[in-house]
Structures are given as C-alpha cells and as structure tokens.
Amino acid sequence: MSLPQQLRDQSDFDQLPLNIPISATIADIEEIKGFIDYFRFVIEVKTKGESKYLIYRRYREFFNLHQILEARYSSENLAKLGPNTCILPPLPGKIFLGNKKEIAESRIPELNTYMKRLLGLPTWVLLDEALRMFFYQTEQDSEHQPRALRRLRPNTRKVKQVKSQKMDLFSSPRAEAMFDFRGNSKAELNLKKGEVIFLLRRVNVDWLEGTVNNQTGIFPETFVKIIKPLPESDSEGESGGHTYSCLRCFLLTPSGVDTRDVCVQEDLSIQPSYKDLLSRMRNVFKVDDIALNYRDPDGDLIRILDDEDVQLMIKEGRRQQDKVKRPVNQFPWELHVTTTSDLSVYNTEA
C-alpha cells in the first residue's frame, strides 16, 4: 500500500547519524488561538538511534518543505530520473474553505502516509538540511507541554492492580516526569513534573505502567525521561514488533476465486491512492493486466478508476461495517481484482 520502494543501500543507511528521523506519526492536533486561530499537528518523531520526541508543525510548514524538496529533487520527466532526482510522495493540497478543526482531522491519515513515504526515500534525501530541520526538535518544541496525545493511547486502559512493594531506589526500573500529566480515567496515573515513577511493565510501544505515590496506573512514555529502563523481556509489551492490518482481496478468474488477506503496516483508517492500490495488487497476484473493483450494497461490482472511486469504496465499506463482522485488524473495505478486459463486472450505471 505504499509507493514502490526506491532502492536504498543498506550500508549507506547504516552510516547515517543516529539522530536521523526514520518515522513520524501525528499523535494529536492542537488549536492555537491568537490574531489568527489555527490548528497544528503534534508529531512524535523516532530516530535511527531509537530516541523519541515531539514536534509541533502547521500544514503550511509541510507545504513549504515540499516546495523546497520539489525544487531540489523532483524531475519533470519521471522516465529520466538522474542521480540527484527522486519520486517525491504527493502532499495533500491546500483547503481554503471549511471548518479548521475538521480540515486538520481529515489531513491526519494523509500526512501520516506522506511522512512515512518521505522518510523512506534514499539516504541522501534524508540528509537534506531542510528535511532534517523540519523534523528537528527545536527549543520551543521541547519546552511546550504536550496534552493528551489521544492517538498514542492504548486500545484498552484496564490495568490490573499491583500491590505496593518496597522499591530499591538504585536497582528498580524508573523514570522521571518531564511534564505534568492528568489521566483521563482511573487506570491512568496523574504525574507532576519531577516525580520519579517506578516502572512495572510496558503496555505498548508508547505507554508504560508504573507506580508513584502509592498509585499504580499507565502513562505515556513521551511525558517522562527513562532513568533506568525495564529489562528487555518486560519491554516487549503486548504489541512487540510491527502491528499489521489485513486487506481482504479477491482475484476473479474463469477457474474460480483466489482469496487473500494482504498484510500491511498502514493503519485501518488510511485512504491509499488508486495508483498505490493498483501497484500493490499487481505485486500480490503477479498479474499486470488487472482492474480494481468493489462490491456495492446490491452485490454489483463497481470499477475503480481514480482516487475519488477509492474514497467512495472506503465510505461504502464503513457504512456496511456494522452489518459484517470482521477481525479487529481487517480493513472495513475489500478489493475485487479482475482482468482489465472483463467488462461484465463493470456497472455502467454506477
């Protein structure tokens, strides 16, 4: 579901500095009130050296970065890419009218995809000064106190109670609160800046469980500085390694139907482009002459021809989601793959 991977020499990647960003995810949006009210994105950045930090960026900063990269690396003729050119991921366009909060919310999946593809470009692009400065944590970023970071919260907040036990201050895994944190439920700890939290376990990649002031609960790792980490066996958490989502695909052939669940790392809320879907299905089924379709409520297959059709397919899939029971990690929409010449599935009235 991503752009065709542009080859990157592993040895070049190994020589990159440890502070190079390798992934970035939008954790929340924040409204800034002033002469002009606007929303900005709270982004968690992870580096090659496995450190994490938060940055705060407006859409116009994404736009300015993209213009700089296009001027330096984009080629007008994609068939003749030179040594200093590459295929840049598309950036969602400007929106001039509408509710600012709704616009910011709707951009999150697209910007997450944009950053993922941007940080997957060749190593010499990752070393670009403009790109590094965009993902660099400025002094203003580090001093800003983050809020709830709702997209980094674990799916479940039920925490088993742990009996209070004596802690060895010099041997126990522990962390220091860098910001105040107010939990949204009884399962979440309330933290004050400067407090030492004794770590019990890792809930997932972003949340920890610990105890402070005779209270036990969970809290986001971004709010603390690890003094002594958990043992490796306790740090894997419930979601060790990558988490995958599954897209159910059907290849319709004269001899029958080939059903496959294609695993991807993208979130279930992602809206891929038509070109990305077509490229992925060609790779999955090893067939070039294919067309993409989806099934409408009447059972007819509707041909997908562009990004707008993809949006309609996803909207229809979500509308039918309550009627069809699916695994929790499966997309609410499905793809039906046919040969391009098979016009019998095309509903011309749709």
d(CA 104, CA 151): 14
Residue 62 has pLDDT above 70, yes or no: yes
CATH architecture of the region 174-228:
Roll (2.30)
pLDDT in tens, 110-121: 999 999 999 988
User: Among all chains, which residue has been given the structure tokens 């958990």?
Assistant: 230
Give residue 187's identity as a one-letter amino acid code.
Answer: A
Is the separation of the CB atoms in 48 and 20 below 8 Å?
yes
The domain made up of 245-339 has a fold known as Ubiquitin-like (UB roll) (3.10.20)
The average pLDDT across 53-68 equals 92
- Alpha helix (H) ranges present in the chain? 10-14, 59-73, 100-118, 123-126, 129-135, 139-143, 232-235, 274-285, 307-319
Over residues 264-294, the pLDDT tens digits come to: 666 677 788 898 888 888 888 888 889 999 9
Closest by CA to 191, choosing from 168, 167, 220, 165, is 220
Q: What's the pTM value of the predicted model, to 2 decimals?
A: 0.46
On average, the pLDDT of the chain sits at 78
> Contact 19/47 with Cβ under 8 angstroms?
yes
DSSP SS3 for 202:
strand
pLDDT score, position 35: 63
- Check residue 162 and give its pLDDT: 46
The Cα angle at residue 229 between residues 146 and 239, in degrees rounded to 5: 75
- Domain limits of the chain? 16-143, 174-228, 245-339
pLDDT category at 1 given cuts 50, 70, 90 is very low
Say whether pLDDT at 167 is over 50: no
Output the pLDDT for position 34. 66
Which option is the CATH number for 16-143: 1.10.260.40, 3.30.1520.10, 1.10.10.10, 3.40.630.30? 3.30.1520.10
- Judged by DSSP in three states, 47 sits in strand
Taking CB atoms within 8 Å and a gap of at least 24, the contacts of 268-271 are 268/329, 268/330, 268/331, 268/332, 269/109, 270/1, 270/109, 270/112, 270/113, 271/109, 271/110, 271/310, 271/311, 271/314
Q: 63-86, pLDDT tens digit by residue?
A: 999 999 998 888 765 555 566 778
Give residue 67's pLDDT. Answer: 92
